[in-house]
Amino acid sequence: MTTYEATWLGTGHALVETPDEVGALLFALHEAGQPVVVDVFRYHDGRPAGGTQVGVGHPERSFVLYFGPPEGGYAVEPGIPAWDGDIEFSYGGQATEYHPAETRITPARAVEVVREVVGTDKRPTSVNWDEQGAAPVDAESVAADDPWA
Spatial separation of the C-alpha atoms in residues 111 and 86, rounded to whole Å: 20
On whether residue 148 sits in a domain, the answer given is: no
On whether residue 146 sits in a domain, the answer given is: no
On whether residue 60 sits in a domain, the answer given is: yes
Spatial separation of the C-alpha atoms in residues 128 and 52, rounded to whole Å: 15
Q: In this prediction, what percent of the chain has a pLDDT beyond 90?
A: 79
Q: Long-range contacts: 29-32, Cβ < 8 Å, 24+? A: 29/56, 29/57, 30/56, 30/57, 30/107, 30/111, 32/57
pTM summary value? 0.87
Which amino acid would we find at residue 74?
A: Y
| Mean pLDDT for the chain overall | 89
| pLDDT reported for residue 148 | 39
On whether residue 63 sits in a domain, the answer given is: yes
Reported as a pLDDT band with limits 50, 70 and 90, residue 123 is very high
How many folded domains does the chain comprise?
1
On whether residue 147 sits in a domain, the answer given is: no
Q: What angle do CA 27, 127, 19 make, to 5 degrees?
A: 35
Residue 139 reports pLDDT greater than 60: no
On whether residue 106 sits in a domain, the answer given is: yes
Residue 143 reports pLDDT greater than 70: no
| Alpha-carbon dihedral sign for residues 56, 134, 145, 111 | positive
On whether residue 143 sits in a domain, the answer given is: no
| pLDDT reported for residue 9 | 94
In a 3-state reduction of DSSP, which class is residue 25?
Answer: helix
The whole-number average pLDDT for the span 125-144 is 60
Q: Which of 39-43, 46-50, 128-132 has the largest mean confidence?
A: 39-43
Which residue range forms the structural domain that includes residue 19? 4-133
